A and B are shown apart, each in its own frame.
Chain A
Amino acid sequence: MTTDKGKRPNSYRAGPDTDGHFGDFGGRYVAETLMPLILSVERAYDEARNDPAFQAELDDLMTHYVGRPSPLYHAAPLSEHLGGAKIYFKRDELNHTGAHKINHAVGQVLLARRMGKTRIIAETGAGQHGVATATVAARFGLPCTIFMGAKDIERQKPNVFRMRLLGAEVRACHSGSATLKDAMNEAIRHWVSTVEDTFYVIGTVAGPHPYPAMVRDFQSVIGHEAKAQMLEREGRLPDSLVACIGGGSNALGLFHAFLDDPDVAAYAVEAAGRGVETGEHAAAIAGGAPGVLHGNRTFLLQDDDGQIKEAHSISAGLDYPGIGPEHAWLSETGRVNYVSATDDEALEAFQLCARLEGILPALEPSHALAHVIKLAPTLPKDHLMIMNLCGRGDKDIFTIADALGVEL
């Protein structure tokens, strides 16, 4: 089998190929029942993205409903505290619904409408993608069912209630580890049974082609904005980008516009849970191997027999045993650096951000922040760094209180 290890492509932004492959990764690994549907989503998306009317409707909603562009904020107190790089936050937590997930939810629901689908389904981990999808479904009057692991329902109660207020049905998944991977299994099983009228809004840059590329395209607005904002503020490109990564939608959203700018370093921060060496983590690149799950070939946490292992992270949004296939490829080519941060490091970063910046970040970007805390002090003061603050932390206060031993 060919490998892209160490091979430099002409462009890092040209993928995937026509069958949805990023190097050896990606593809369409689904049951035959779904194949015709996947192909029709691909055709519809190809037409939509080349249709100025679709783009205009999307842009209008992004501006007036989502609240884009999100600010690029100079985190001066944090920069000063760490004593190194000049740190900027891309404030995607200020979007409507409080995270970046709304970017691809709007895009996919518009596509569902264009395809004449009358029902929306989605999986969710932290609940941010579920809330975003339920929100856009409500806006367009479409019935919506969200699949969610029973364990995540327990640790993300505010978001579950939010989805129900928005009129969505939240369906608990009890199989396996009862987290995001199992919610995705159930959503796919349900989709196979309802192919005629149902559109599956996938919550990250994973799944069968065209989802990884489509979700990335809808999210890449983050990086395009950040690039223009940085050029306006500083007159040049940033030196580094930092984002957390579960499936990898916010990371790819920030990175993609910069992938062909060789002087811009990119760091994707996986969830190391209790430590990669303990086996209780969600770091698919640091601790996984190539395999096939949920429609694509990518890095997965698995045992020697190819059975999928349960992931662990304090952050429900990162608690997934795989990673988007484009990330697997970006890791193999070496374009993006994949690093990790533990539960404890993320908790510390969360608290530091709250006190210094007056911002409660979600536990997911708290992992990115934990790496910023390690990296920034080693860099000169003229080093420009952008961290994607991709979600707000209100949803996590119960988990954090629990971890800190505080009773609410």
Chain B
Amino acid sequence: MSTRIEKRFQLLKDQKRAGLITFTTAGDPDPVTFAQILAGLPKAGADIIELGMPFTDPMADGPVIQRASLRALKAGMSVKRTLKIVADFRLNDQDTPIVLMGYFNPIMAYGISEFVKDAAKAGVDGLIIADLPPEEDAQLRLPANKAGLAMIRLAAPTTDDQRLPRVLDGASGFLYYVAIAGVTGTKSAADSHISEAVTRIRAQSSLPVAVGFGIRTADHVAQITNHADAAIVGSAIISEIESRLDQQGRATAGLVDETLNFVQSLASGLSRNR
């Protein structure tokens, strides 16, 4: 039986196009508005949905995602509620893969075996844990794989040829290439760098390669997906959400539609000539 993630990349292959992976923080700006955004993402062009699990101290994230995390926490989000949001989404969508991105501490507090069991049951397909490098991830990766969840590994510009096999050994789902040495939502990578990096990874792995960090526009998406199997956009979508909050941080009319329109515009940049 192939997984939702595998099926989705196969579908992209059949359609001869690259994919869009959207990142939003679960429960941002509030759980009700977020559920509406989430429900609309597949139709707007999200091929895979990456959901941020809010954390007080997101060390790998820039200011935009930090603020989204704090808004979501303030609105009462927790790991449990994030899983509930996924379960609710699954009632109407059995096909779009969902991967959870977050930090290890909330998972530890939840209990690792409980978490992987509940996440799989809710309909989660994979995990990206920013502060869990290969050296430390067996404690989560093994039970997660057993529960049917992919453990998505990250490679970065600093991951040299000597280290890359360590990152690939145990990776599943897809490989997340971090385009820049930095945090989310800051600078963008040069095209030549992406091309070289994707080629280097493909030489050692058959996993699909998704590229994220610093991708903000349809043009960026087009450039990236000339090389990669998918582009990941996060901070730019969250900035869209943020720009439509009132002074008290509440969603204003049109926020959901405008956010989804923006996702649609990003999807229009995807390479369709593969």
Contact = CB atoms under 8 A, between A and B. Distances in A.
Nearest to B177: A32
B213 to A, nearest CB: 9
B88 interface: no
B139 to A, nearest CB: 8
Interface string A219-242: 000000000000000000000000
B109 A291 contact: yes
Contact of A193 (B73, B154, B163, B186): B186
B13 to A, nearest CB: 26
Contact of B163 (A35, A192, A195, A307): A35
17 contacts: A31-B130, A31-B133, A31-B154, A31-B156, A32-B178, A33-B60, A34-B158, A195-B158, A291-B105, A291-B109, A294-B57, A294-B59, A300-B105, A304-B109, A305-B110, A306-B105, A307-B106
B105 A32 contact: no
Interface in B128-169: 130-133, 135-136, 153-160, 163, 167
Interface stretch (A122-130, A181-189, A263-271, A348-356): A181-189
Given A307-B55, A307-B73, A195 B155 contact: no
A28 interface: yes
Interface string A269-304: 000000000000000000001111111000010101
Contacts of A188: 59
Interface string B180-211: 01110010000000000000000000000000
Nearest to A174: B63
A36 B161 CA distance: 11
A359 interface: no
| Interface pairs A-B: 4 shortest CB-CB | A306-B109, A306-B106, A33-B156, A193-B182
Main DSSP-derived SS at the B contact region:
loop
B178 A33 contact: yes
A192 B59 CA distance: 10
A308 B181 contact: no
Q: Which of A28, A29, A37, A300 has the most CB of B within 10 A?
A: A29
Nearest to A189: B183
B87 interface: no
Contact of A306 (B110, B131, B132, B135): B110
A32 B154 contact: yes
Interface residues on A, range: 35 or more
B79 A305 contact: yes
A32 B155 contact: yes
Given A29-B136, A292-B105, A307-B73, 19 more contacts: A30-B131, A30-B133, A34-B158, A36-B158, A176-B56, A189-B61, A189-B62, A192-B183, A193-B181, A195-B181, A292-B108, A305-B78, A306-B108, A306-B110, A307-B56, A307-B106, A308-B56, A308-B57, A308-B105
A300 B55 CA distance: 14
B59 A185 contact: yes
A163 to B, nearest CB: 24
A194 B158 CA distance: 11
A292 B104 contact: yes
B105 A36 contact: no
A181 B59 CA distance: 11
A306 B154 contact: no
B122 interface: no
Interface string A161-195: 00000000000000110000110010011001111
Given A32-B167, A33-B158, A36-B158, A305 B106 contact: yes
Interface in A5-41: 19, 27-37, 39
A195 B178 CA distance: 14
A282 to B, nearest CB: 16
B29 to A, nearest CB: 18
B108 A291 contact: yes
Nearest to B69: A307
Interface string B66-106: 10000001000011100000000000000000000001111
Interface in B22-80: 55-57, 59-63, 66, 73, 78-80
Nearest to A209: B135
Nearest to A305: B78
Nearest to A307: B56
A194 B66 CA distance: 20
A34 B181 CA distance: 9
Nearest to B66: A175
